[in-house]
Amino acid sequence: MRRVLVVLILGLLMVAARPAAAQQSLFAALQGKVTDESGAGIPGAVVMVTHQESGIFRQVTSTEDGSYYITGIVPGPYRVTAELAGFRKFEQANVQFSIGNTSVIEIKLGVGAIEENVTVTGPVSARRYVDAANRRQHRARPS
């Protein structure tokens, strides 16, 4: 009786574990490290994988040492990007992910220029300008 009970419990555990194992093997994963040109880890970089056909994406932020790990990636072709202010954007297209595999991409970000956009809003005031050719002052018309 005791033997039958042990076999029954083991059988139930194997059946219960099977869906979880099957579910994990339907996806792929990506891991690696985001570093600067000197090889130092970069924390806070946003790493994103975007399915090239559907546009569905997953993203994570690199840890204190620059490492990252993305799970639950549906197999197919992806674009991998990484970015952080003050660095040039990393982009790699046509990365193929397959069922049950973990791909490794080591991302190196180069120092980049900081871009700044200035948008000025508000009423336009009338301004005077000088017509140098005719030596007369004109009032500017708001556009």
> What local confidence, expressed as pLDDT, does residue 112 receive?
85
Tell me the pLDDT band of 124, cut-offs 50, 70 and 90: very low
First to last CA, the chain: 94
Neighbouring residues of 107: CB distance < 8 A, sequence distance ≥ 6: 32, 33, 34, 35, 45, 47, 80, 82, 90
pLDDT in tens, 78-101: 999 999 999 999 999 999 999 999
Q: What is the phi-psi region of residue 76: left when phi exceeds 0, alpha when psi lies from -120 to 50, beta otherwise? A: left
Q: Is the pTM of this model over 0.85?
A: no
For the chain, which domains are there?
Answer: 26-108 (2.60.40.1120)
